[in-house]
Amino acid sequence: MVRSGITRFAALASIVALAATACSSSATTAPAAAGSTPQAGGGQIINVGGVDHVVVQWFVGLGSGGNPSQITVEQAVVADFNAAQDKTPTGTKGMPILLSLNIVQNSTATDILKTQLTAGNAPDIIGPVGVKGRAAFPGQFADITPLAKAAGYDLTQYDPNVLKLLSTNGVLDGFPYAVYPSMIFYDKDLFDEAQLPYPPQKVGDKYTLDGAQVDWSWDTVRKLAMKLSVDSAGKDATQAGFDPTHQVQFGFSFMWSEGRRMGSDFGSGSFVATDGKTAQFPDPWKAAWAWYYNGIWTDHFIANATEEGSSLLASGNPTSSGHVAMSEMFQWYDCCMSASSPSKTIKKWDIAIQPSYNGTITAPLDMDVFSIAKASKDPQDAFVALSYIASRGDLSASYGGIPLVGDQLTFYHKYVDALLAPEFPGNVVNWQVAIDMEKYAPAIHHEASMPNYIKSEDDYSKVWTTLGSKSGQNMDDVYKAVVTALQADFNAAP
């Protein structure tokens, strides 16, 4: 009885202690708990320090921008802008602009923005946002061209092809900002171990395979990757007796890829026909999916889903595991090259050009833009703030993309070197390869809009992920399954 009394007392005491902790801390949490105060809507005029300001809301979260280091830069940009506005107001109403920052978590950003747009308190500036992030909001973003013209901003400094790629149905609904080209990562140590030459870094260069000069094509990559796939006995995938069930190294991986991007590696295309409502499967994309599927199940140079999730390949981060020789990656993968510094898994690495299919190189390009909501009450003031945001090289550098305006490139290199040098001491990466790849972007962006976007994307992805998890599939059935599912989604589009 005494003992149970003591335990009871201990339980009560712990609850009281907890209550006390919570109450003492509630003094600080209370405002947050009582409700993150509704954001002042964009276009609102508020009085700060006796002066009326036009509020411009900046919404961050659909793309990058949510890492602590990036937030620091974003806050500095906002502070600098507001300070400058208080000195020399450049708002269109003669009032200073008050830029207000709203950062949300990436995984829920789409939902939050959706709610804000629905509720009628749309933010003004939205970005950085990728093509996919924008595609979920068809018709909700303003045309940048007239805003730029009115502000006297020169859009001709951008490559017209990039502007075209940025446009949705001919409307430039995003402000060009930064691009992230695709390229091939390779682990030099694994090539040395296999005594094979490194992949080419200049468009037009050949590769020496088995003593012969060959084109750097996806078929060459296949043959090369098989030599770089090794089992625990040290046999490679081209040798007799190779045991794919005990594989310890893989020749190739598509780093954090997905179906449409993989398709676009082989050529530009789209799941939507030009009429905007018929589902289709482009021929080069069929070839890409088959290359991937056979690479896993027949030639064993790509990890299947189980292997990719295993610890050997760092639970789904194969490129950084040190057990993959080549990887197709986007520029933004810089962020995640290593989990430790200095890295013990990869030491010497570099990047190579994208392989060609039927003689053509296609390098899918991710990009970040800034958009202005159509519902913005003050788009012209938003554009003023936006052009300032876009001019800050330190900001674009913190996002990790290659800036589209040339003089910011130095910022970029500074950023990448600072990021990677401590992790890979002594390793030099030829970033010119990435810049060269910008020119080989597909004509249609791989994340371009589709009807019923989010559901359509889930549905083709569902089929696509079976390629990595299920052997013995008939590829024609796979293509058919995608088209059928997508057509149903397209038909159901609101």
Partner 1 sequence: MTANDVLLSLPTNAAKRSHRAHQIRLRISKVGVTLFTASMAMIFLLPFLYMVLTSLKDSDQMTALNAPLYPATQEMYTASDGQQYVVYEVPTASGTQELALKDPRRTDSTFIDTKTGQTVEWTGNWRSLTPVWLLSIKWANFDNVLGVLNFPLLLRNTLFVSVLGTIGAVTSAILVAFGFARFHIPGKNGLFMLLIMTIMLPFQVLLIPQYMGFMAIGWTGTLLPLIVPHFFANAYNVFLLRQYFLTLPRELDEAAQIDGASPLRILFSVIVPQAWPAIVAVSLFHFFFSWNDFFAPLVYLSGHNDLFTMTVGLQAFSATYARAGSGTLTQTGALLAMIVPVAIFFAGQRAFMRGVIISGVEK
Partner 2 sequence: MVIVDDKQSVNAPPKKGMSLQRRETWWGLAFLSPWLFGLVVFTALPILASLVLSFTNFNLSHPGDTRFVGLDNYARMWSELLNNGNAGASLGVTVRFAIMSVPLMICLALGLALLLNQKLLLGKPVFRTLFFMPVMVPLVASTIVWQGYLNGSTGWLAQILSTFGLPSPDWFNDPAWALPGLVFLGTWGVGNMMLIFLAGLQGIPTELYEAVKIDGGGAWARFRNVTLPMLSPVLFYNILISIIGVSQYFTQAYVLDPGGTGNPGGSTFFFNLNLYKEGWSYNQMGYASALAWLMMAIVVTAALVLFRTSARWVFYAGGDR
For binding to partner 2 (CB under 8 A), which residues are involved? 107, 111, 114-115, 117-118, 305-306, 308-312, 315, 454-455, 458, 461-462, 465-466, 469-470, 494
Closest distance of CB 46 from partner 1, Å: 20
Any contact of residue 316 with partner 1 (CB under 8 A)? Answer: yes
> How far apart, in Å, are the Cα atoms of 342 and each of 49, 299, 345, 425?
49, 33, 9, 7
Number of neighbouring beta carbons within 10 Å of residue 446 = 26
Q: Using CA atoms of 326, 331, 332, 336 in order, give the dihedral in degrees to the nearest 10.
A: 30
Looking at beta carbons only, is 107 or 474 nearer to partner 2?
107
Q: Which stretch binds partner 1 (CB under 8 A): 35-43, 144-152, 158-166, 390-398?
A: 35-43
Among the listed residues 314, 363, 448, 467, the single contact to partner 1 using CB under 8 A: 314
In single-letter form, the type of residue at position 130 comes to: G
Binding mask 170-189 for partner 1 (x = CB under 8 A): -------------------x
114 is in the binding site of which of partner 2, partner 1, none (Cβ under 5 to 8 A by kind)?
A: partner 2
Q: Which stretch binds partner 1 (CB under 8 A): 14-22, 45-53, 71-79, 82-90?
A: 14-22
Looking at beta carbons only, is 247 or 270 nearer to partner 1?
247
465 is in the binding site of which of partner 1, partner 2, none (Cβ under 5 to 8 A by kind)?
A: partner 2
305 is in the binding site of which of partner 1, partner 2, none (Cβ under 5 to 8 A by kind)?
A: partner 2
Separation of alpha carbons 118 and 115, rounded Å = 5
Binding mask 192-231 for partner 1 (x = CB under 8 A): xxxx----------------------------------x-
Among the listed residues 317, 327, 356, 376, the single contact to partner 1 using CB under 8 A: 317
Looking at beta carbons only, is 111 or 205 nearer to partner 1?
111
466 is in the binding site of which of partner 2, partner 1, none (Cβ under 5 to 8 A by kind)?
A: partner 2
Judged on CB neighbours under 10 Å (0-12, 13-18, 19+), 140 is: middle
Among the listed residues 15, 273, 418, 428, the single contact to partner 1 using CB under 8 A: 15
Residue 450 phi, psi dihedral angles, 5° rounding: -135, 155
Q: Is the dihedral of CA 294, 297, 301, 303 positive or negative?
A: positive
Looking at beta carbons only, is 108 or 278 nearer to partner 1?
108
> How far apart, in Å, are the Cα atoms of 215 and each of 196, 356, 376, 390?
16, 8, 51, 40
The residue assigned the tokens 């510094």 is 341
- For residue 247, give the nearest of 200, 199, 281, 295 by alpha carbon: 295
- Report 241-260 residues binding partner 1 (CB under 8 A): 248, 256
Binding mask 55-94 for partner 1 (x = CB under 8 A): ------x---------------------------------
* Token digits of residue 88: 């020399």
Q: Are 26 and 76 in contact (CB under 8 A)?
A: no
Residue 102 phi, psi dihedral angles, 5° rounding: -135, 110
The residue assigned the tokens 């002042």 is 40
Q: What pairing do the DSSP bridges indicate for beta strands 230-231 and 212-214?
A: unpaired
232 is in the binding site of which of partner 1, partner 2, none (Cβ under 5 to 8 A by kind)?
A: partner 1
Looking at beta carbons only, is 247 or 408 nearer to partner 2?
247
Looking at beta carbons only, is 394 or 458 nearer to partner 2?
458
Length of the chain: 494
- Report 444-473 residues binding partner 1 (CB under 8 A): none
Residue 488 phi, psi dihedral angles, 5° rounding: -65, -40
Separation of alpha carbons 184 and 350, rounded Å = 8
Mapping DSSP to helix (H, G, I), strand (E, B) and coil, where does residue 215 land? coil
Any contact of residue 108 with partner 1 (CB under 8 A)? Answer: yes
112 is in the binding site of which of partner 1, partner 2, none (Cβ under 5 to 8 A by kind)?
A: partner 1
> How far apart, in Å, are the Cα atoms of 187 and each of 8, 93, 295, 412, 473?
61, 56, 19, 23, 32
* Token digits of residue 299: 């030639």
8 is in the binding site of which of partner 1, partner 2, none (Cβ under 5 to 8 A by kind)?
A: partner 1
Separation of alpha carbons 485 and 171, rounded Å = 29
> How far apart, in Å, are the Cα atoms of 118 and each of 123, 188, 346?
11, 51, 47
156 is in the binding site of which of partner 1, partner 2, none (Cβ under 5 to 8 A by kind)?
A: none
Looking at beta carbons only, is 80 or 458 nearer to partner 2?
458
50 is in the binding site of which of partner 2, partner 1, none (Cβ under 5 to 8 A by kind)?
A: none
- For residue 132, give the nearest of 250, 260, 310 by alpha carbon: 260
**Binding site residues, partner 1, CB under 8 A:** 4, 7-8, 10-12, 14-15, 18-19, 21-23, 25-26, 28-29, 32-36, 38, 61, 104-105, 107-109, 111-112, 115, 189, 192-195, 230, 232-234, 236, 248, 256, 311-317, 320-323, 336, 339-340, 344-345
